Chain A
Amino acid sequence: MGNSPILSSETPAAQPFTDSTIHSHEVFRLLVDAVSDYAIFVLDLDGIIASWNIGAERLNGYKAEEVIGKHFSIFYTEPDIASGKPAHELRIAAEAGRLEDEGWRVRKDGTRFWASVLITSIRDHSGKLIGFGKIIRDLTERRRTDQKYRLLVEQVMDYAIFYMDPTGVIQSWNLGAERLKGYRADEIIGKHFSRFYGHEDRERGLPAHVLGTAAATGHFEGEGWRYRKDGSRFWASVVVTALRDEEGNLYGFSKLTRDMSERKALLDALRQHSEELELRVREREQSNAELEAFSYSVSHDLRAPLRAIAGFAGALSEDYGPKLDDTARDFLNEIISATRRMNSQVQDLLDYGRVGRINMPVEPVNVADVLQEAVRQADVGRDPALIIDVPDGLYVAGYSQVLAQVFFNLISNALKFSSQSARPEVRVWAEEHDGRVRVSIKDNGIGIAPEHQERIWNVFERLHDRAAYPGSGIGLAIVKRAMTRMNGSCGLESALGNGSTFWIELRRALPPGKETRS
């Protein structure tokens, strides 16, 4: 406010009595009288009020006639009067030429206001003190606002908020800063803010970079390690804002720091966790690849000697059969049938491993198509015992290749077990209930006693000797594993002597191309 000409001690009010300025003095007096936002009045040497303007009347509540001739101490609070403040202020103004002050003042009605006060000494042209000019402004509102913000900033506990001068020297310090960084205000104000940074960050000039960026772009935002008074560090989120006056001159920076250590620890833990997970996935992919290689090698290398045994046993029987006796030929046949068994056993084991391992993208599968494929694979299409009654166009959510294997196993099993009945019969049909499709395969074979119905699903589980019903004992284990992998289920209804009905269930699906509704 010192910039304003009417408040300057060099104003024309300091030379009111020269003839040449009479006219302008008159204009000036009218102006002062009319100013309503400032109380402007004149005191004599003793502090008696000699003039009064509209602003003064508005601000202090007195009319000119009430107040002119009174001592100006009527505007002061009782404690100020008791401490001799009015006289003191006049003395200072007389000695220094001017005095600026902010403080509480009292209106006519006794209420207080926060006043910005300027008292200027008035001297005649010989330099003799003849009185004082006084200008008062009501800053109550601004003070309240300032105080609100100051209190807010001071009391914030979760953020360190402080101000720095343009070089980075700390000018203020709130409670949050004390709590976060461990310094009290009196320890840190006047120190440079670079002390919060680690040695390396200081070496590479990070503090200067932060201020430089803020000065150039308005603000700097970043995260990094910062150090407390006790040397411990925390992960800080920082915003530095450049403070500029109306003309754009940089007069300092505000800095807001938040402790993000917990979030950082959480994020780090999360990152570490996901890295571990990725590692495990890679390990699993690798072990899957190894298993794949293993099964490849089993199917290729393990079967080669088997093929040789079967082949040479066959050649022996063919080329030298006539020279052998019945027992020798019998032995050869045993060898040949053993290799055949081992071959199918190896194949079943490979299938079992494969069903547990391969990707099974679930898709709409036409049950009738898959049954047809299974019948083709089992080469039982012309078997009169097999009666399939499944309508075309019934779709389930499954994986056709594996589902075909499931049907293959169940149909082969059923034909095998019904083969010894007088009139072998295997019926296959489908039912739908609650959005699921159940396909049943019923044979009229010997049936399975309830006590065995659980364990027949296990690998290598057999109920009968090989001579009666050949098989590897893996077929149903493959069925169970495959159904589990396709989110389906399987089961058995049977009674000894009454045949068996094996069933599988899968979720019903719409034909491909209509997958929008489920």
Chain B
Amino acid sequence: MSDRLVLLVEDDPSDVRLIQRAFNKLQTSVPMTRLTNGDDAVAYLSGEGPYENRVAHPLPGLLLLDIKLPRRSGFEVLDWLRKQKTALRRLPVVMLTSSRHSADVNRAYDLGANSYLAKPETPGELDELASRFQSYWFSLNQPPELHGNAGATAR
């Protein structure tokens, strides 16, 4: 596992490029793995199929998740994740989506999202998002343990 690894699940290649560019401009780099659909995200997180090798495909420290995705949607991935029996279900999830619909926001939190960000409309805003994101999630925030059985803390 890499504490600082962000798993970005985003199907729009333009958004991916702009997001990666914004994060790459930061002084401390944020390693990022990118997947384009919900099924792949589930496979990666479970370490199945092409993602079996955890050395090549380490568990991320945070999931940056779009809602509207091919195959399984971001909601479905989130729902699946929070229903896992292992500690993996604690993985912090930040929604990054163009939807500002309150129905979507509420549903994401209902399903257990840790944060909900709307995709910025301008490059400047995106730069700011990347910088604040990094300082918040990788400096301020205390990450949970993601290995082993969830055991006693299971609800």
A326 touches B (CB below 8 Å): no
Which residues of A in the span 292-341 have a Cβ within 8 Å of any Cβ on B?
296, 299-300, 303-308, 310-315, 318, 336, 339-340
- Minimum Cβ distance to chain A for residue B19 (Å): 9
Known: A300-B68, A314-B123, A318-B123. A308 touches B98 (CB 8 A): no
**Which listed residue, B97, B101, B121, touches A310 by the CB 8 Å rule?**
B121
Most B Cβ at <10 Å: residue of A296, A306, A311: A311
B15 touches A (CB below 8 Å): yes
B126 touches A (CB below 8 Å): yes
Q: How large is the interface on A (under 10, 10 to 19, 20 to 34, 35 or more residues)?
A: 20 to 34
A300 to B40, CA, bound (A): 22
Q: Which residues of B contact A308 (CB under 8 A)?
A: 12, 14-15, 18
A343 touches B (CB below 8 Å): yes
Known: A310-B121, A310-B123, A343-B121. A299 touches B14 (CB 8 A): no
Q: Which residues of B contact A306 (CB under 8 A)?
A: 121
Known: A311-B126, A318-B123, A340-B121. A303 touches B18 (CB 8 A): no
B100 touches A (CB below 8 Å): yes
A300 to B126, CA, bound (A): 17
B151 touches A (CB below 8 Å): no
Known: A304-B12, A315-B21. A310 touches B99 (CB 8 A): no
Q: Annotate B101-122 by CB proximity to A: 1 below 8 A, 0 otherwise.
A: 1000000000000000001111
Q: Which residues of A contact B14 (CB under 8 A)?
A: 304-305, 307-308, 311-312
Which residues of A in the span 141-171 have a Cβ within 8 Å of any Cβ on B?
none
Q: Which residues of A contact B15 (CB under 8 A)?
A: 304, 307-308, 311
Q: How many cross-chain pairs have Cβ atoms below 8 Å apart between A and B?
A: 53
Residue of B nearest to A319 (CB): B21
Residue of B nearest to A297 (CB): B68
**Which listed residue, A303, A311, A336, A340, touches B98 by the CB 8 Å rule?**
A303
**Which listed residue, A296, A312, A339, touches B18 by the CB 8 Å rule?**
A312
- Minimum Cβ distance to chain B for residue A423 (Å): 31
B148 touches A (CB below 8 Å): no
Which residues of A in the span 214-262 have a Cβ within 8 Å of any Cβ on B?
none
Residue of B nearest to A401 (CB): B102
Q: Which residues of A contact B126 (CB under 8 A)?
A: 311
The answer to whether A299 and B119 touch across the interface, beta carbons within 8 angstroms, is: no
Known: A310-B121, A314-B124, A336-B122. A304 touches B98 (CB 8 A): yes
Q: Which residues of A contact B122 (CB under 8 A)?
A: 310-311, 314, 336, 340
Which residues of A in the span 326-364 have a Cβ within 8 Å of any Cβ on B?
336, 339-340, 343
The answer to whether B18 and A300 touch across the interface, beta carbons within 8 angstroms, is: no
Q: Which residues of B contact A307 (CB under 8 A)?
A: 14-15, 18, 98, 119-121
Q: Which residues of A contact B12 (CB under 8 A)?
A: 304, 308
A303 to B122, CA, bound (A): 12
The answer to whether B99 and A311 touch across the interface, beta carbons within 8 angstroms, is: no
Q: Annotate B2-32 by CB proximity to A: 1 below 8 A, 0 otherwise.
A: 0000000000101100100100000000000
Residue of B nearest to A354 (CB): B101
Most A Cβ at <10 Å: residue of B15, B100, B123: B123
A312 to B68, CA, bound (A): 22
- Minimum Cβ distance to chain B for residue A94 (Å): 106
Q: Which residues of B contact A310 (CB under 8 A)?
A: 121-123
A43 to B131, CA, bound (A): 135
Known pairs A306-B121, A308-B15 / 17 extra A-B pairs, C-beta < 8 Å: A300-B68, A300-B97, A300-B98, A303-B121, A304-B12, A307-B14, A307-B18, A307-B120, A310-B121, A311-B15, A311-B126, A312-B18, A314-B122, A314-B124, A339-B121, A340-B122, A343-B121
Interface pairs (25), CB distance under 8 Å: A296-B99, A296-B101, A299-B98, A299-B101, A300-B98, A303-B121, A304-B12, A304-B14, A304-B98, A306-B121, A307-B15, A307-B18, A307-B119, A307-B121, A308-B14, A308-B15, A308-B18, A310-B121, A311-B14, A311-B15, A311-B126, A314-B124, A315-B18, A315-B21, A318-B123
Which of B's residues lie within 8 Å of A, judged by CB?
Answer: 12, 14-15, 18, 21, 68, 97-101, 119-124, 126
Which of A's residues lie within 8 Å of B, judged by CB?
Answer: 296, 299-300, 303-308, 310-315, 318, 336, 339-340, 343
